[in-house]
Amino acid sequence: MNIVVVGDVLLDADISGSAQRLSPDAPVPVVDVDDVRHRAGGAGLVARMLARDGHAVQLVTVLSDDGAAAVLREALAGIVVTAGPSGAPTPVKTRIRAGSHAVVRFDEGCAPPPPPVATDEMLAVLETADAVVVADYGRGLTGDPRLRRSLAALAGRIPVVWDPHPAGTDPVPGVAAVTPNLSEALRAAGPADDATATGDGTGGGIPAALRAAETLLGRWQSRAVVVTLGALGALVLPASGLPQMIPAPEAAAGDTCGAGDRFTATLALGLEHGTALEPAVEKAVQAAAAFLAAGGVASLLQAPAPRQLRSESLDALRAAEQVRRRGGTVVATGGCFDLLHAGHARTLSAARRLGDCLIVVLNSDSSVRRLKGEQRPIIGQQDRAELLLSLGCVDGVLVFEEDTPEAALERLRPDIWVKGGDYREDQLPEARLVKTWGGETVTVPYHPARSTSRLAAALARVG
């Protein structure tokens, strides 16, 4: 998967220290500086977040050739950057902090620049994308006609998520989602909606957000408008269907810088993985809350947290490798797991006790249909995977498209392959494959009178 981030970059400088006295020549605090750090801002921050998460990411932007741009390139080290000339100084935003409190921010080089021009190289990178995040910070890049035509064409083929800016351009038609925050939505919708903003920052609440989203959905012709509402969560308005309010988990208070970027990046990832809009927004809301709870942009200066085991697809492979590097035992089992029942739960629990992680190798929907007929599966693969991951004994799910699990097992290479005790040796041809890398195949007790077919038949009688 290749994610391309398009948009304006800037350099963020964080100067922090302690303030325990006032200046003798003015009633202002004196900050004794003990730390100065630089980081990429704007679209650069989105790219840095995605790269830190382990995703393949490319950044399409424009850059100056001044000293601040050199520092910015260092902050973007490890990210593939394709940049045209900006024709303007690098914008620098310097935040002064005393302890946990912001004192002041200085902006340099932030005057409106001449309109930048997208190069052929920049447009070529877009054609390699599996998903696109447009991070518009009002510096004019998203107004380039050729870039807009390219983004509009891509919006018909892949997820394009557009994070707008009050000084930026309108999104191109057809993008998967546009993600203004509440103040941006009210301002973009026009005076009638902007007038509902209140001094307490609520902007008139959810009704005002919905009115603004309705206006913007018609104007922007996107497939959805998602208005982020801070501690309230996010309002999702699709082009067809009812609006949905996604509540936010309780998050720690603090500097919200970067929370919107975290939201947009996570939403794009979810849509690229095939997650429906509302569940993808839910994950994005949770990710933004977790970002704030971890300390916001300050958390990006810390070592990345170890990847959690409870994951899907390629993440399951990484989870298994993580256990293997620690010298642990990787256990796997497989099947359709259509209509999860107590027999499944007992088998999975028994399998998990045999090692240090359990990966479920799961038949895809098309695989189940070929094996069991056009009426199956009853539950789709995404829901089946989510149900499995909700069990405390399952650490990862690896979905496979083939009729048999051999190819998936070759990728996973578990130490122990587990099946229910109702299987005979001649029904497990993959056992020979498992032995080729030193693995073993075992069975665990089978619990009769519990089967998906019995449950399906019972449901059919009830229906």
Q: How far apart are CA 219 and CA 116, in angstroms?
A: 25
The angle formed by the CA atoms of residues 50, 230 and 100, to the nearest 5 degrees, is 80
Cβ–Cβ < 8 Å for 40, 9 = yes
Q: Which two tokens stand for residue 110?
A: 């932030």
Task: Single out the residue of 143, 171, 165 nearest to residue 260, CA to CA.
Answer: 165
Q: Is the peptide bond before 377 cis (omega within 30 degrees of 0)?
A: yes
| Distance, C-alpha 414 to centroid of its chain | 28
Q: Name the maximum alpha-carbon separation found in the chain.
A: 89
Q: Which two tokens stand for residue 423?
A: 């299987």
Q: How far apart are CA 321 and CA 317, in angstroms?
A: 6
The angle formed by the CA atoms of residues 133, 138 and 139, to the nearest 5 degrees, is 100
From the list 12, 136, 163, 261, the catalytic residue is 261
Task: Single out the residue of 82, 45, 55, 81 nearest to residue 1, CA to CA.
Answer: 55
SS3 assignment, position 267: helix
**CB neighbours of residue 35 within 10 Å:** 10
Q: How far apart are CA 185 and CA 166, in angstroms?
A: 9
Let me know if 261 is a catalytic residue. yes
Active site positions, annotated? 261
